[in-house]
Amino acid sequence: MPELPEVETVRRGLAPVMEGARIERAEVNRPDLRWPFPERMAERLTGRRVLQLRRRSKYILADLDSGETLLIHLGMSGRMVVSGDRLGRFVHDHPAPEKHDHVVFTMEDGARITFNDPRRFGAMDLLDTAGAEHHRLLSVLGPEPLGNGFDGPHLVAAFRGRNTPVKAALLDQGIVAGLGNIYVCEALFRAGVSPRRKAGRISAERVAAMVPLIRDVLTEAIAAGGSSLRDFRQADGELGYFQHSFDVYGREGQPCRREGCDGEIRRIVQSGRSSFYCPACQR
């Protein structure tokens, strides 16, 4: 599933085409994805101008001049592909329609944004912009890891007394929003902390030190266009390339890259997810 860097990369790719532009025509080609589409969704989107495109955790939010906000979740395999932008940012011609093109936005300048999702785990919803933070998917989220609300004192307080592994704690979207399996593994490697360690038994100093490392990993991944492991593509159809910089994720059996460490990357399963780490230098 795309994580924060991939979703932010898609948002940045869509913004030049969608922000300030009017949706000339919205087409909804099936009744549902992960859950049913909102009633009269195509009608409510057609003719509306996109005022702002923002991200909250792993969701893209398009604020409309109607006072509603379109919420988009890419799911496991969802892609937002731009074609036909006359300003030259996306020079791809409009592709032939595909089987899994579930939602299509034709913008007033002729650009087209197609939401393609073969596995149909993605989702869209329409919500009141003024009360967006109260939506059932957004109200439970913790602070953004790149925002001011995520800092050392917050993480120390969130970890205090927790008997869960630190890996699980960082994946808890109520503690910090948007982190996923890949980037938690990479951040814990940089912090020298084993994913097995109980969150409540890590010193406050070490917990606080994780914050800038998490920010660094995410910032570098966004700059690289995210990580393309299976289905992820940027809005122009290109692959991300942060996967070439992984220190631990997907490197089971390979030597540790930390200078002076002779350890070997190991994979374990935690709560049904693979955790990659170096047992020699992550304690």
SS3 (DSSP) at 121: coil
Task: Give the integer Cα–Cα distance in Å for 197 and 189.
Answer: 13
Site of tokens 């927790």: 162
SS3 (DSSP) at 47: coil
Task: Give the integer Cα–Cα distance in Å for 24 and 128.
Answer: 21
Rg (CA), the chain: 20
Task: Give the integer Cα–Cα distance in Å for 21 and 49.
Answer: 6
The reply to whether 58 belongs to the active site is yes
The reply to whether 162 belongs to the active site is no
The reply to whether 283 belongs to the active site is no
The reply to whether 2 belongs to the active site is yes
Q: In Å, how far are 197, 261, 277, 279 from 258, measured between CA atoms? A: 20, 6, 11, 12
The active-site residue, picked from 12, 118, 273, 279, is: 273
The active-site residue, picked from 11, 58, 112, 251, is: 58
Which residues are annotated as catalytic?
A: 2-3, 58, 273
